[in-house]
Amino acid sequence: MSVLFEGSTQPFVYQDVFTSLDPDTGRPTYDEDKKPGTGKLAAFCPSLWGGKDWPPAAYNPITGLLYIPANESLCGTSVGEEFVYTPGRSFTGADAEMTLHPDGDHIGELQAWDMNTGEEVWTHEFPSHNWGPVLTTAGNLVFAGGTDDRYFRAFDARTGEVLCQQRTNSGIIGVPSTYEIDGVQYVAVQSGWGVDARSMGGRLDELRGTETHVPEGGVVWVFALKRELN
């Protein structure tokens, strides 16, 4: 997994699949040993659970930074199988497993990349995975949840410092939004764990021999931002 900049690429998580990227099209060239086939096992990093998945990133034109919710150290294996299609059932034609990179000391990350220089500016690490969509504002803030500790956090957009955090009723995989009423800015987000985040947490518990409980949820949290007086 790489971020493509003009004339160069930078990996944003550990990867051993791409051997090169075309600087004009962004099209990758793959290591053939990392391609599974029928009866052919392949091991690779990141897996479909690692790197960047569907939780949206956010770009701030004031800071010039792109904020990426990412998962490091999540690798996998896959082997193609002879499979008979059955209507209404999942059909991949392969048996896939998640693995952890042996050198990884954490999984979740919130990264900030400078879109002008192609450099990683800061990274905040989490012990477990990060499945949190990102919101950034003109007031030098970044908001994100996505971790199984149930916190919703506000970061300094330039430094990555955690400015404040609130533990919610459940994990947060909802997309934060912001709006203004009568001169007061609000940030709203839905707290409610499930789907891919819960499934990944279960896989990690199996691999680590742990047991993590994130309560079910379904609550919209709304925060009012204080206005700084100069």
Model confidence over 83-98: pLDDT tens digits? 888 899 888 888 999 9
Q: What is residue 80's predicted lDDT score, i.e. its pLDDT?
A: 92
In a domain, 53, yes or no: yes
Residue 160 in contact with residue 169, Cβ under 8 Å?
Answer: no
CATH of the domain at 184: 2.140.10.10
Percent of the chain having pLDDT more than 90?
Answer: 81
DSSP string, 29-60: EE-GGG--BBTBEEEESS-TTSB--SS--EEE
| Amino acid 97: pLDDT | 94
pLDDT of 93 reads 86
- Tally the domains of the chain: 1
Residue length of the chain: 230
pLDDT band at 229 (very low <50, low <70, confident <90, very high): very low
Question: 164-180 pLDDT, tens per residue?
Answer: 999 999 999 999 999 99
H helix runs in 51-90, sequence order? none
Contact between 199 and 207 under an 8 Å Cβ cutoff? The reply is: no
Q: Which helix (H) or strand (E) holds 203?
A: helix 195-208
Tell me if 229 is assigned to some domain: no
Distance of CA 24 to CAs 6, 12, 13, 54, 187, Å?
Answer: 8, 19, 22, 25, 38
Quick one: pLDDT at residue 177?
98
Grade residue 230 by pLDDT with cuts at 50, 70 and 90: very low
Average pLDDT, stretch 189-215?
A: 95
> Is 153 a domain residue?
yes
pLDDT at position 227 over 80: no
As a whole number of Å, the CA-based R_g of the chain is 19
The range of the structural domain enclosing residue 8 comes to 2-224
d(Cα 44, Cα 190) in Å, to the nearest integer?
Answer: 34
- Residue pLDDT, tens place only, 123-159: 999 999 999 999 999 999 999 999 999 999 999 999 9
| 209 part of a folded domain | yes
Tell me what the mean pLDDT of segment 27-37 comes to: 92
Residue 3 has pLDDT above 80, yes or no: no
Assigned domain for 230 exists: no
The pLDDT score that the predictor gives to residue 24 is 81
Q: What is the pLDDT of residue 2?
A: 56
Task: Measure the CA–CA gap between 141 and 171, rounded to whole angstroms.
Answer: 21
Residue 8 lies in a domain: yes
Residue 218 has pLDDT above 50, yes or no: yes
The Cα–Cα gap between 128 and 30 comes to 29
Give the pLDDT confidence score for residue 217 in this predicted structure: 84
| 19 belongs to a structural domain | yes
**Higher-confidence position of 42 and 91:** 42
Cβ 112 vs Cβ 66: under 8 Å: yes
Mean pLDDT of 185-198: 96
